[in-house]
């Protein structure tokens, strides 16, 4: 253990404050090296970290004489894998404390084991701090994805704590000047403000009928709030977002709420947010023009509007276009000059400047070589699902698209992707999924359908949206309906595995890191974090909504492994032995089932790599194999030898099997 001392001086002569002289320092605690001391902005206080002395390891013991064992206990706050994953961080954990520099020998500890997370307010100028504790909810976090917390207002002079709210499913934000705490309760869908001085709590949106949480939430968990956009000057009001518009709430609760965008967003399906033009400016003026970032949810255009908060009138459109990024702009500190990036599927992000938004100047050209290559274009498409729901997706076509030709199709999906219509995608190796630009430029159609889910039936939901979208796409004369493949990674990989058990409409499939057996995966570990996987199936992405013992039939119904005999589609599985999110035994279970059934299946295990590939060489490798696989099944090109002959272990590192096997027919 190292011993650290704190020095403080108001002159050129240093005055050492030894740890034994710090009045209020707990026994066996000391100043920590793992948090830099920081003065409050007004210079009246010094914040630093304290920590208990670490237990010392007896280095005289002979390691071979003692077992190396992890002891799992049902009484532990965190399971052993999570403890081991976070052990180094916990050893370096510090507990925020403060010294009032008018009495520099006295230290007040603000954080401890009971409330181990404490934040300064208003850069330390406030007489209060915000404390957070998850102690009471650590065990339930194994299955409860809501991540409950207790919040405290802490007096920085005395260390005294006042409970603000307990078991909150949401979060607390402190206003920039430190006058109010504002928090959202996901279970009641209510926003509240708390006056740190008067200790009064006001509910802000009780009489407002609009929803301030995700209106399209399709998971069996509490919907996320849209969040705070900004605070106004002097902590007078807070600006809170609904799905489209921004509302102004008086923090003291004296004035009724006002829709500062006047309902224009909801009327025109435009989502507004407030541009943070300068990171040092924490509040906005109610009576001065401000810029709003805007995104049109129907045509996916984005741009900038302008409004004055106090007027509550329709925002004025400044610019909207089929580009992405203009809303993320910054302003020069002392001039009316603005800088931002713009991009589209055809154009890589470049930097623009303007003073009036009527004329703009492009000041970068980071991808001039693109003119030498064939590219593509994305188009929004809409259809009705089998169950009659409205559905949206994007069809990406080659730059030299010819409507008289028949194109092969690769369908890629992951939750909802249509908002990315105008996002640029460089033709670089990706961690695991297909690269849209690369395949489109090589005469493929790429289709990305959005998916919404019915709780308890993620597999059937995928069928409803993906298969119906493909059927609608096949009605176009330029689609080769016999040459359509699907590809997905992680959650998308699960859906690939499911779809090929219920339909033979696809000529080929590629699945990355799929869960195929929810009954075995349910009790597994996310090794990247050490967390239990139970919460994921009960409340988040897998969307089952119940425990394994409450609804075993749903876990089996949504597990592709139990329907592997139905598979007729050739499939490649990528699952790596260091996958930190999905246990790689899931990929093995799928491979072993299909292998025994003598179905055409291949599996790639990139040794030592993660859920999504991290190593550049592996990314290059998988891109080449994806191209060869899809070219073979969708364009009738010869298969590579890794598909026809495999790569024996004795040839590992010598031959990668990329050579095409001209002797083999399909």
* pLDDT at position 156 over 60: yes
pLDDT of residue 341: 93
- How wide is the angle at C-alpha 359 spanned by C-alphas 356 and 362, nearest 5°? 115
**Residue pLDDT, tens place only, 189-223:** 999 999 999 999 999 999 999 999 999 999 999 99
Over residues 243-265, mean pLDDT = 95
pLDDT surpasses 50 at 386: yes
Average pLDDT score over the chain: 93
Burial 92-103 (b: 16+ CB within 10 A, else e): ebbbbbbbeeee
**Per-residue pLDDT for 260 more than 90?**
yes
Q: Which of 19-33, 37-51, 280-294 has the lowest mean pLDDT?
A: 19-33
Question: By three-state DSSP, how is residue 192 classified?
Answer: strand
* Mean pLDDT value of segment 442-461: 97
Q: Which residue has the higher pLDDT, 55 or 45?
A: 45
For 443, the token pair is: 């005469």
What's the pLDDT at 428?
A: 87
* Interval 13-31 mean pLDDT: 73
What pLDDT, on the 0 to 100 scale, is given for residue 664?
59
Element counts in the chain: helices (H) and strands (E): 13, 38
Look at residue 6 and tell me whether its pLDDT is greater than 90: no
Q: What is the pLDDT of residue 666?
A: 45
pLDDT tens-digit series, residues 621-663: 999 999 999 999 999 999 999 999 999 999 999 999 999 988 7
Q: What pLDDT is recorded for position 18? A: 55
Q: If residue 286 lies in a helix (H) or strand (E), which one and from where to where?
A: none
Q: How far is CA 659 from the centre of its chain?
A: 39
Would you place residue 65 in the very low, low, confident or very high pLDDT band (cuts 50, 70, 90)? confident
Residue 665: its pLDDT value, please?
Answer: 53
d(CA 150, CA 138): 12
Query: Assign residue 543 a region: left if phi > 0, alpha if psi is -120 to 50, beta otherwise?
Result: left
Q: What is the pLDDT of residues 122-133, one digit of tens each?
A: 999 999 999 999
Q: How many CB atoms lie within 10 A of CB 361?
A: 9
Residue range 307-354, pLDDT digits in tens: 999 988 999 999 999 988 776 789 998 899 999 999 999 999 999 999
- pLDDT range class, residue 430, cuts 50, 70, 90: confident
Position 470 pLDDT exceeds 70:
yes
Q: What is the distance of C-alpha 277 from the center of its chain?
A: 24
**pLDDT tens-digit readout, 498-546:** 999 999 999 999 999 999 999 999 999 999 999 999 999 999 999 999 9
pLDDT band at 17 (very low <50, low <70, confident <90, very high): low
Cβ pair 131, 159 in contact under 8 A: no
Q: What is the pLDDT of residue 283?
A: 94
For residue 576, pLDDT over 50 is answered with yes
Mean pLDDT lowest among 19-33, 255-269, 383-397, 651-665: 19-33
User: Which secondary-structure segment (H or E) carries 555?
Assistant: helix 552-557
Q: Which tops the pLDDT comparison, 347 or 24?
A: 347
Q: Residue 15 — very low, low, confident or very high, per pLDDT cuts 50/70/90?
A: low
pLDDT for 4 equals 82
Specify the DSSP element, H or E, that contains 320: strand 316-321
- The reported pLDDT for the residue numbered 192 is 97
- What does the pLDDT average to over 413-429? 93
**Which sign, positive or negative, has the C-alpha torsion 287, 289, 290, 296?**
positive
pLDDT at 442 over 60: yes
Q: What is the pLDDT of residue 624?
A: 96
Q: What is the pTM of this model?
A: 0.92
Structure tokens at 641: 């030898």
């Amino acid at each position: 253990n190292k011993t650290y001392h704190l020095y403080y001086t108001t002159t050129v002569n240093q005055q050492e404050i030894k740890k034994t002289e710090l009045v209020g320092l707990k026994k066996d605690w000391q100043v920590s090296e793992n948090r830099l001391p920081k003065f409050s902005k007004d210079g009246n206080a010094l914040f630093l970290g304290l920590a208990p002395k670490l237990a010392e390891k007896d280095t005289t013991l002979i390691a071979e004489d003692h077992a190396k064992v992890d002891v799992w206990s049902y009484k532990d706050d965190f399971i052993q894998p999570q403890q081991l994953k976070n052990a180094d961080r916990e050893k370096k954990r510090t507990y925020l404390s403060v010294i009032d520099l008018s009495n520099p020998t006295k230290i007040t500890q603000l954080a401890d084991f009971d409330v181990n997370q404490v934040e300064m307010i208003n850069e330390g100028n406030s007489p209060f701090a915000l404390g957070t504790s998850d102690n009471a909810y650590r065990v339930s976090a194994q299955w409860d994805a809501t991540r409950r917390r207790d919040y405290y207002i802490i007096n920085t002079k005395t260390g005294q704590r006042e409970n603000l709210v307990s078991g909150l499913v949401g979060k607390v934000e402190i206003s920039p000047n430190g006058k109010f705490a504002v928090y959202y309760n996901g279970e009641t869908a209510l926003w509240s403000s708390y006056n740190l001085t008067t200790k009064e709590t006001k509910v802000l949106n009780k009489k407002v009928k609009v929803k301030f949480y995700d209106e399209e939430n399709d998971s069996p968990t509490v919907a996320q709030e849209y969040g705070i956009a900004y605070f106004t000057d002097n902590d007078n009001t807070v600006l809170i977002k609904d799905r489209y518009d921004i509302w102004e709430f008086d923090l003291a609760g004296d004035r009724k709420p006002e829709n500062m965008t006047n309902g224009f967003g909801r009327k025109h399906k435009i989502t507004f947010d407030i541009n943070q033009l300068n990171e040092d400016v924490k509040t906005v003026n109610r009576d001065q023009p401000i810029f709003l970032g805007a995104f049109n949810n129907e045509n996916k255009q984005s741009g900038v509007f302008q409004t004055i908060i106090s007027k509550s009138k329709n925002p004025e459109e400044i610019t909207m276009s089929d580009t992405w990024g203009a809303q993320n702009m910054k302003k020069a500190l002392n001039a009316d000059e603005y800088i931002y990036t713009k991009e589209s599927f055809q154009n890589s992000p470049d930097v623009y400047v303007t003073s009036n938004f009527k004329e703009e100047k492009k000041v970068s050209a980071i991808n001039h070589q693109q003119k030498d290559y064939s590219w593509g274009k994305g188009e929004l498409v809409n259809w009705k699902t089998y169950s009659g729901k409205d559905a949206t997706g994007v069809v990406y076509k080659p730059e030299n698209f010819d409507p008289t030709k028949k194109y092969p199709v690769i369908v890629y999906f992951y939750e909802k992707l249509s908002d990315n219509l105008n996002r640029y995608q460089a033709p670089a190796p990706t961690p695991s999924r297909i690269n849209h630009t690369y395949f489109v430029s090589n005469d493929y159609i790429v289709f990305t359908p959005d998916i919404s889910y019915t709780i308890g039936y993620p597999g059937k939901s995928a069928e409803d949206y993906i298969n119906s979208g493909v059927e609608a796409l096949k009605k176009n004369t330029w689609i080769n309906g016999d040459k359509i493949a699907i590809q997905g990674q992680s959650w998308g990989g699960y859906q690939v595995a499911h779809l090929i058990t219920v339909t033979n409409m696809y000529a080929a499939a590629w699945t990355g890191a799929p869960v195929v057996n929810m009954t075995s995966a349910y009790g597994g570990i996310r090794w990247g974090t050490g967390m239990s996987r139970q919460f994921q199936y009960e409340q988040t992405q897998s969307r089952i909504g119940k425990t394994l013992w409450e609804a075993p039939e749903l876990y089996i119904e949504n597990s592709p492994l139990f329907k592997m005999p139905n598979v007729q589609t050739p499939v490649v599985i990528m699952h790596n032995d260091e996958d930190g999110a999905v246990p790689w035994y899931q990929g093995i279970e799928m491979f072993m089932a299909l292998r025994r059934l003598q179905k055409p299946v291949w599996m790639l295990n990139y040794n030592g790599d993660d859920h999504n590939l991290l190593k550049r060489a592996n990314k290059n490798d998988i891109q080449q194999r994806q191209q060869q696989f899809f070219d073979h099944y969708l364009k009738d090109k010869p298969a590579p030898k890794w598909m026809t002959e495999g790569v024996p272990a004795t040839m590992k590192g010598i031959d990668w099997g990329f050579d095409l096997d001209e002797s083999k027919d399909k």
